[in-house]
Each structure stands twice: as C-alpha cells, then as structure tokens.
Structure 1
C-alpha cells in the first residue's frame, strides 16, 4: 500500500511543529539579560561607628541570568544549579503586546491540534480511499495556526527591548528599570520560529490533498480515465491479479 508524499509530509511536520511551539510557550527563555557581580562587593557589618567591611565568600565574578517568557520569569546564577522562577508580574504582565502574544499562541496551539486530528481522520490509513476534503481542512487549520504563531513571535521580537520597560500608550520609560539593560532573544524564540515554519510546511502539504490523483487510462480508450472504484475498463477488469487503489498507506 502507498500513501501520497504530501500527506506523509503533513502528518509528520504538523505534529512536530506543534510540539516545538508548545515547548516555546511553556519555557521562560523568550528574552534574557545578564548582570555581573564582581569580586569587589562588600558586606557591611558592625555597629555604629564601625567601618569594618567583610568581603563576600566568593571571590569569583558571578553572572546572573534573568529570563522572561510568556507566563514565567526566572533568575539563575550562570554555571550553577541556583535558579528561581515565578509567574510574570508587574508592567511586563500588563503589557498589551505580551498579552497579545499569549492569546495568539494559545489560539495557534488549539487550531493546530484540531487540524492534526482532522488530518488524521481524513488520511484514513486503514482504508483505501482517504477523505480528501477533511484532510485538506485540517491542513488549512494548521496553516492558520502557523500564521498566528508567526505573528505572535514577530510582535514579541519587534518589541523585545520595550516589553515592560515603557508605557505603550505614552512611550514613557518605566523608572523601575535602568535604561542601559541589554536584552537579547533567547532559546525559546528560536524553538517557536522553527515550530511555526514546520506548521506552515505541514499544513501546506496537507492542503495538496484537495488535488485529485491521476488515474490510469484505459488501453482501448486512452482519452477516458479509469475509475479505480468501478474499474470500467475491460482490459483492466479482465486481469484478476490487478488491484488499483487511489490512496493507501
């Protein structure tokens, strides 16, 4: 039995894209910034009038990594297991661009999952003839899901350095955040971009299910195609060992 290449591509790439986008959505590494704590830090102690300074126990430079995602933020000491995470809060959580990205990603995950279910029903690997309309509809939903996730990633990436740092309506910088912070995209964004592209590729392949396959022609009448369901051509039906299928897997 043989499955069309477009259906195989769609069934493989669409779930893979869904997994990558879901991984990007639940991980907090959408953007990150670093802060260095040098060995010159002192811990002041003692009573009034005492200027005794006690040097911190660690003489090495510590690098703190702060990362933000759509639903979670984390603070970690580089090259260490010390890590603390908490739900996003404050101006970052209230930023309309972050909330837009959250809504688009959730909608994308729902549409992609629904499209994959429809595609599996439409392909119908347990029968000879697939339901092409249902498979193509599933592909359309997967393509829309890919477009939504790409939009969310584009909005977030374009405003990455301004999310939670300023009032979107007035453009006034938030005084709680120093203006010199260096923000950069992190790993979750790349997972999201890759997953969205795979969704677009898998959905586009499933859309090709609308295209009807070419049937073999009847030797006695080449202008008329042979229907594999009725096998109306005598030259084909007279061969008992010949089975013609439209699509199988």
Structure 2
C-alpha cells in the first residue's frame, strides 16, 4: 500500500517530464546546448545558463515506433495503478480486524501488472536509445528512465507481496487471523446454605487437624450462651438443656 502510490508518482513524473534521453555536442549548435527528449515534448537547455526552450518540433523522433508504444503503455500503467490502489484499499481495510484477502489479492495483482507495463517501455527505450534518430552521436540516459525503472520495480514488489493474499485465501490460512471466541460466563451452582458446625463435625475436624476450630463469632456466641446458663435457676439437675450449635 505504500509502494504503489510512490511508484505511481515516479511513473507520472517519468511520463510527463521531457528527459528520457539527452543529446550533447550537436553539430552546428553551441557546445553548451543540451537537447532533452521525452515522450511528449522536447526542450533545449544550456549548461552556461538556466534558459529552457520547450515545445521543440522533431517529426522524425516522435514518429518512431517506440515513442507511440511507450505513450500507450505508460498511460495504461498510470490508469491501471489508480484502479488497483482503490481495489487494494477496499480489500485491505486496515480499520477492521479481518481483511478481504481475495479483493486485496486482486488489487495486488493489478499493481503488479501496472509495474510490468512501466518496465517494458522503459527497458525497451533504453535498449534502442542509440538507434533512434538523433542529430548527434553523444546520446545519454535521462533521469526519466531512472525514475521509470524505480517506480516500476516498486509496483512489482508491492503487487507481488499483496497478491499473496490470493494464495492465503485459497489455502484458508490467513496471517494473524484467529477465530473470534466469545467469553461465556460459567454457570455457578448456588452455594449451599450456611450451616453451623455440629458436634460431630467439630470433633472430626479437631481429630483431623491439630489447629482448633476458632472464630470471633463462635467466641461471642459461647459467651452469650454461658451468660444465659448462669442466669438459669440453681436447680439445674432437674433441667437439662440441649446445647446450642453456636455454643461449639
């Protein structure tokens, strides 16, 4: 997603700028004259000054087959790259958890094709640059070819990486994707009602553990029960009260 727009900007500069090749040492002209030729325009520049004269006519240069083909391929690459960026943006959807791998893969494939459409005319022009009609034999590579190569390679790499989404979609193994699991609260059984320990339970606890059963509440209950027992009549032999569970 970063390489594709950057490559598009470099392609646009390479297509519009008139600097696919430069011609120096033109016979019959001043030695500081440099002729810059592109796909759509030709400009005259001077090394001793900053004067630039564009819209120069050269019928034999513009009538070359490579110029017509390069125009069509570069324009097709620019348009296709814009469409591919839109498709890839809709497929990636960085604002969601799960991207659409099929749409993103198709967008990456279109970006890859756009890069190839750029590299073909640039490489072809570089190969036959010296054979195209020129008024001098001192022909040099312009900066537009360099920008075109860099932009095409960036698009090819970016589109190739993004097109792996098609492979991941077919194999159903998406990177960093885990099935969503919804947290379900476990159903807890209601706790049984609280019961005071009985004599048998206390005796069993005391027999198992060496730590005596003690709590602040039990001490208060025991004191209260003792006070109630002291307030009873003296004839305690005739009355036998059952001990409370809290007394223990």
TM-score range, shorter chain: 0.5 to 0.7
- Match of 1:33, SS? strand
Matches within 5 A, 1:90-169: 90-163=59-132, 165=133
Q: How far, CA to CA, are the matches of 1:154 and 1:80 in structure 2?
A: 32
Q: How far, CA to CA, are the matches of 1:186 and 1:159 in structure 2?
A: 14
In the alignment, which residue of structure 1 is the partner of 2:163?
Answer: 207
CA contact (8 A) 1:215 1:227 kept: no
5+ residue gaps in structure 2? 187-248
CA contact (8 A) 1:70 1:88 kept: no
In the alignment, which residue of structure 1 is the partner of 2:4?
Answer: 14
In the alignment, which residue of structure 2 is the partner of 1:3?
Answer: none
Question: Could you say which structure has the greater relative contact order, defined with CA pairs below 8 angstroms and 6 or more residues apart?
Answer: 1
The structure with more helix, counted as a fraction of residues:
2
CA contact (8 A) 2:18 2:38 kept: yes
- Deviation string, structure 1 residues 182-216 (Cα, Å, up to 9, x no partner): 11111111000000000001101211223132568
- Match of 1:161, SS? helix
CA contact (8 A) 2:105 2:164 kept: yes
- Deviation string, structure 1 residues 9-65 (Cα, Å, up to 9, x no partner): xx0111111111111111111000112799xx9xxxxxxxxxxxxxxxxxxx85111
CA contact (8 A) 1:71 1:88 kept: no
Change (3 A) 1:37 1:98: closer
How far 1:152 moved relative to its partner? 0.7
Q: TM-score, normalization: structure 1? A: 0.66
5+ residue gaps in structure 1? 1-10, 42-60, 166-176, 217-225, 241-249
CA contact (8 A) 1:71 1:87 kept: no
The structure with more strand, counted as a fraction of residues:
1
In the alignment, which residue of structure 1 is the partner of 2:15?
Answer: 25
Q: How far, CA to CA, are the matches of 2:155 and 2:68 in structure 1?
A: 22
In the alignment, which residue of structure 1 is the partner of 2:189?
Answer: none
Q: Which one of the candidate residues 36, 47, 51 is aligned to 1:82? A: 51
Number of aligned residue pairs: give it: 181
Change (3 A) 1:91 1:36: closer
In the alignment, which residue of structure 1 is the partner of 2:229?
Answer: none
- Deviation string, structure 1 residues 129-171 (Cα, Å, up to 9, x no partner): 21111111111011001111111111111111122x2xxxxxx
